Every structure is written in C-alpha cells, then in structure tokens.
Amino acid sequence: MSSGINNPSMQMPNPQMAALQNMQHQNKPNSPEEFVRNLQAFMASIGQPVNVNPVICERRLNVMQLFVAVVKPGGSARVTKLNQWPYVAQQLGFPSPQIHIAAQELRVYWMTNLAPYENMWQIKKQNKIHGQGQGQGQGMPGQPPTQNNLQNQMSPGRIGMPNHDQGAQNHRRSPSEAGNMKMNGVTTNNFQQPAINGYIPPSQIAEQSSHQQNLQHHKPTNLSRQLDAGQLNGIPATFPTPSPAKRPDTSSERTLQIDSGLQMPPKMPIEDPFKPEVLPESRLHGPINVDEMFAFSHSLIEVKPIVPSFRELGVIDIHALIMSIKSGIHAEVRMALDTLTILSVEQGLQLSLENCDDLIETLVDCAQEQVDFLAENAAEVSDEMLISSYEDVIRGCRIETESLQDIPEFGSVDHDLDRAVDRLICITTLIRNFSFYEANFNVLGMSEVVRFLTNVIRHLGTKEMLLRTNRNTLDFMKDVIIYLSNLSHSIQLPGKEEALCLLHFLLSFAPCPPPITASSDKISFTMYNPNIHKYTPSAVDSLAKLLARDEPNRTYYKSIYSADAASSPPYELLTRTFGLAISPLPVATMNPRATVGARKPFLLQGMLAAEILSNLAPGSEHGLARSWLESTDGFAVSLLRLVGLLSAEHRPQPPQRHSQGGRSAPELDADAYAAITHRAMAVLKRLVEKSRSSENSDFRLPPGIIPKKETLLGALVTKEIDTQVLKQLCTYSALDE
C-alpha cells in the first residue's frame, strides 16, 4: 500500500478546476463566438446543458451581451436583490410594454444557464486579485503565505515529493489523524476537495472544521513539520513559517468566504433617520401584465371589422337596403340594418320616411318575424299581463353584469335566438331614432307600427324572458318609451287591447312599491327619485298625451277604467295610474322652489294626467277618492303647499311685445306655473267633491288638505297672488262646511 493513492485529484484532475485554470489564462473573450465556446466547454465539464441561443419575448438575444449587462452592475445576486432585472432588460433594448415580462424571462434563463458560469468567473476574478496581492507581498518579512502558496507547499503532487516520503509523512501523523485519513484502504485529503461551481457541501464544511480543530488540539506544529520535510528534500520555503497563532485559513474556509461574499451584497451603513427601501411601482395586476394585455386588446380592436362611418358609405341606395331586408339572408339583413342605423344617428341628415318607399313596412315585417320566432321558444307564464318594473330590470342587468354569461354555440337554437333579439332591438332603435323628426310622425304613428310594438309588449308580459336577457329588455323599454314620448300626441290607437298594453307598459316605469300592497290597507304613493327613475318623466309625458288625445283614445281608457271596478282590489289599475301622474310632486324635505323649477315640464304633464284621472274616479259611493286623499304619504298636503307657493311667487306677467314676435322666458314660465297651479287646484277640488257624501252628515275631510282661515286671510292681503287661484282657494275651503 506504499504506492496507494494519497490524493485522487492528482490522478484524475477535476474538469471544473481544469476549466477554471483554462479561464485564468484568458482575461476576456475577444468575440461572442469565443465566449460561447468557453461557456459550452465549462457547462459540458460540469455535465449541464446550456442554451446559447435564447429567445426572450420572441426576440433572439446575444449571450455575451446579456452576461456583460448583468456582471457589470455587480452580478446576478446584486441585480436580484436590488430588483434591477427591468433595468437590464431596458439596457438590452426591450420596449417599455415588454420590460417586466422580459425581466422575468431573463432571470429564469440566467439561473438555468449562466449562474454556474458566473460563479466560476467570480472565483477566477477573486483568485486573480489575491494573486496580485501575493506578488506585491513577496520578499517582505513577516508576511504570511497566501492560500494558493500554502496549498502549493502542502500539496505533495506540486512539490514533487516521492512516494516513500509520502509514507514517511503518514507515519509521522498521530493515530487519530491516520484513522481519519484512511477509509477502506484509500487515503483521502479533506482539505483538497474541490468546490462544485464555487459551492462547498455543508457536510464537507462541517467535516473540515471538526478535522481542523482536532489537528490544532493534537498537533499544533504539524504544519511546520511538513514544511521542514519540504526543506529537507532540497526545496526551500518561499515564506517563513507562520506561528500557530497566525496560521492562515484553510482552502475550504477561504472558498466559503469568497462564495458568501459573492452571494451577499455589500453592507451599507444605516442612515439616520432610517429610510427603508421601497419596491418600484409595478404594472402587474396579480399575475397579469396590464401593459401587455392593453397592447393585446388594442391589437384585437384594430383587426376587428367595424361598420364604416357615414362619409365612407358613399351613395346609399334605400331600395337596395329594402330588398336586402326582404331577402331574409342574415348577412344582408345585418348589413342593411347597420347602414340604416348610421343614417339614423347622423345629425346632418334628416331621413324622410315618406320618400323611402315601404321602408317602415319592411322593417316592421322583419321585426314581426323575429318576435314570432322568440315567442315560439319562450315559455308562457301568465294569461294576464305582468310586465317587470323598470327597477327590477335594472337590478337584473346589474346581476348579469357581475356574473359570467354562457355564450351559445354557433348554429344552435340559442344562438339563433340571440341573433333574432339583436335584429329586433336594432329595428326598435331605428324607430326611436326616426321619431325625433316631426316629418316622420305620420309614418311612425301608423296602426301597423303601434300593433307591432303592443304585440311585443304583450309577449313581454306573458312570456318568460322573451328577449333572453335583462339587458335586451332594458334596451327595448328605453326605445319604446322615447318613441311614445315623441309621438303619443299623434298616435291614434287601433283598439282597446293596444291601449291596455301601452298603459301596462307605462306603469312599469312608475316608482316602486305600488300604491296598493297586500301588507297594508292604506294607500301610499311613492314619489319620483331622479337618481333611480330616469325614464319616469317620459312615461308621465306619454300618459298625459294618450289620455288627453281625442277620440277614440278617451273612449278606450274610459272603458278600461270602468272595467277596473271588477278587479281585485277594485280600481287598482286606476290607482296605480294616478300614482304615476302625481309622482313628480316635491316632498316636504326638498327645497320646493328649486325642485319646481327643475321639474316644471314634468309637473305640467303630471298635473294634466292627474286632472283627467280625478274626473274618471268613482263618486262617494265607492270611497276611492277619499282613500287617495287619506294616503299615508300625504300627497294632498304637498299638493296644497305647492299651490300656495306658486300662486304667491309666480304671478302672471303682463304680455310684452318684441320685434321678432316671440314670447319672453318670464312670460312662458308664468304661463307654465299658472297651468300647474290651476290643474292642482282642480285635482284637489274634484277629489274633495267626490269624497263628500250627502247621506253621511258626520263626514270630515282629513286634516291639512283644507287651508286654514288664517292662511286665506293672509292670501287676501297679498298683492302678488293670482286672483284666479285665490277664488279657487276660497271655493275649495268652503267645501268643508
């Protein structure tokens, strides 16, 4: 065993150390190709694959350029700690939207492919620095030997010690050392184990530290004896032998210190006051890069086909559009409807429907086909008309917006139904847009258009989700209510059934809850809230125009309300309609002056409808008028207060003539306020008259709805009060006697 192996690294050199020694002879690669060759050789020596052609964010990257960009600011450890990977990506020329994604991909690529090579490069750099320090310290007395020289002196292979001298050295060791150094007949050297990629396993570090302590405890002069043995063989020592107190570190400890120095950033003194590091602002929303998603969505918008603008359409052939709609081909119908929609929203163009052949008839026929198809595939839920209120539809829209919707498969029945709804809503939108021009009133007020709309309303109240979603239902309701507000004064209803459908549709815009509920015997009218009931003014306007229209509209509604006496509870429909008419009245908590000024047209039409409905109410034999006056919300008191306010502060102005023959704004306001006041007094007077009963002598009106005598005396001495309103107040107060 005299020729046994004392150091395996002498017989089989480590490929990593060979690559390290090869790198020590090369200060810097002359070209990227040489850098790639060195990288491939090193990674092959440690048995790890390497990708020398990385693709980051769909862009091929130069490996040497990336290595220089990371090593220059201090290495990957410092770049990671200071979060400078985005800065590295910016230095490599990546655009701003891709910097964060590129930074993440660069970091992953570096840790997978270049981290071992960087560790080896840092070790070479540290060895080079220590080598320069040793060269400067040679020949200086008292200078301890460096790690490399100490290893050269202690390594038998480097100083050419023969095998018998190695055996002699082994014989001079203590028994405990010999037992530690020999395992299974093979002598090992724990101090000469090379580090893998610059790292030493923790188990090896623990063994080296414990072995070093044993050496210091048993043989404190072992190092000097080895050096003396080297001198006996004719090789002089380069440096004087250090004392045991100043013994240099072992190679394993020095390697560990170098490696830990590479991983840890340089420590900086803590500032006073302390300023903590703040992470830079990130565009990441969780795992999603907002900038990247914005660019992706912007690209989708750019490639998505859109309908051309009005100026891009060129010459528009209305007859060709009509024939496209009549063809029934989905692509042709869609193209025609899109073109007509562009024409209807163009402010500089007023399309006259009287000069467009049978365009409206064609649109109505196409829409009726869609309604029939939808009605066939919708379940019938009630024989009576139960239209969802506007507030319920709004709540349904909110739920649909916050939930995930199922997209039907192309070609399925559900997909065809969705497209049918789209075509129907598009046609109702066209009718609404055309109704803003007075020249189209005669064409849009035809019986065919009214029957079509009332047919959809009837199916909407008897079928379950006719228009598939609450969003589509809301769009249809908005289109029809605007159409009715524009044309109700010129619409001649075809029959009583159509009048009933329109009435139920208008009542769906009334404030909730309804006046009559199952939980209370008293009537309570809900007042208008502009933040919720955005289309209630249009509904009240349409109601007033329909009720005030000439025959046969009046006859239809009189018969409808007469038949309402047999309902349960009686006159429920009439009470709901009256509640819609008086909904714009300002409540006591509001500023009455500002509220009346903002709701002037709304109040004017509401009082007109309320006056007509008060005339249709039954007499004292039923008690309906008395129940209205005794409502828990106190609308009668609010109405009387409104009369007093308008009669005292808005006296009619004398007529003034102008050069252009027009009327001034104060005169128009005075006429509107006077009309509101007179109609409100008429409503109160008629309800009080129908509440009195000649048979019941103990009848008393609810308190607060009759003005006090002190109030009348104050009104008599007021100069600015309207005399007509004063006479009506006196007559009204005498009704209580």
Cβ atoms 676, 603 nearer than 8 A: yes
Please check the confidence at residue 324 and state whether its pLDDT lies above 80. yes
What pLDDT band is residue 623 in, cutting at 50, 70 and 90? confident
Percent of the chain clearing pLDDT 90 (strictly above):
32
Residue 345 lies in a domain: no
Of 295-309, 564-578, 679-693, 719-733, the poorest mean pLDDT is in: 719-733
Q: Give bridge partners of residue 187 from the DSSP assignment.
A: 182
Mean pLDDT of 455-478: 94
DSSP assignment of 402-414: HSPPPPPPTTSHH
* pLDDT confidence tier of residue 188, bands split at 50, 70 and 90: very low
**Average pLDDT of the chain to the nearest whole number:** 76
Residue 288 in domain: no
The stretch 188-199 carries a mean pLDDT of: 42
Q: What is the DSSP letter of 249?
A: P
- What is d(CA 643, CA 596) in angstroms, rounded to the nearest whole number? 11
The Cα–Cα gap between 474 and 476 comes to: 5
298 lies in some domain = no
Least confident of 181-190, 252-261, 486-495: 181-190
| Stretch 172-193: mean pLDDT | 40
Q: How many Å apart are CA 123 and CA 258, to the nearest integer?
A: 7
Domain stops at, among 95, 116, 132: 132
Helix (H) or strand (E) holding 284: strand 284-285
Tell me the pLDDT tens digit for each residue of 371-398: 999 999 999 888 888 899 999 999 999 9
User: Do 585 and 642 contact (CB within 8 A), yes or no?
Assistant: yes
Q: Rounded to two decimals, what is the model's pTM?
A: 0.59
| Cβ atoms within 10 Å, residue 274 | 6
287 domain residue, yes or no: no
pLDDT, one tens digit per residue, over 401-452 is: 999 888 899 999 999 999 999 999 999 999 999 999 999 999 999 999 999 9
Q: pLDDT grade, residue 186 (50/70/90)?
A: very low
Q: What is the DSSP letter of 315?
A: S
The total number of structural domains in the chain stands at: 2
Asked if pLDDT for residue 593 goes beyond 70, the answer is yes
With respect to residue 168, please indicate whether it lies within any of the assigned structural domains.
Answer: no
Check residue 195 and give its pLDDT. Answer: 45
Predicted confidence at residue 445, as pLDDT, reads 92
Which of 107, 132, 157 is at the close of a domain?
A: 132
Domain contains 398: no
Residue 57 has pLDDT above 70, yes or no: yes
Top-confidence residue, 204 or 359: 359
Beta bridge partners of 196: 199
CATH number at residue 74: 1.10.150.60
What residue numbers bound the domain in which 688 lies?
509-654+664-737
Cα dihedral value 440, 442, 448, 454, nearest 10: 80
The model's pLDDT over 61-101, given as tens digits with 9 standing for 90+, comes to 888 888 989 988 889 988 988 888 998 988 888 888 888 88
Task: Please give the angle made by the CA atoms of 413, 416 and 420, to the nearest 5 degrees.
Answer: 135
Are 501 and 385 within 8 A, CB to CB?
yes
Residue 121, domain member (yes or no): yes
Residue where one domain finishes, among candidates 94, 117, 132: 132
Residue 41 resides in a domain: yes
In one-letter notation, the amino acid at residue 40 is Q
The pLDDT of residue 648 is 67
CA dihedral sign of residues 709, 715, 716, 721: negative
With a cut of 60, say whether residue 458 has pLDDT above it: yes
What sign has the CA pseudo-torsion 179, 180, 182, 183?
A: positive
* pLDDT tens-digit readout, 8-33: 333 344 444 444 444 444 445 557 88
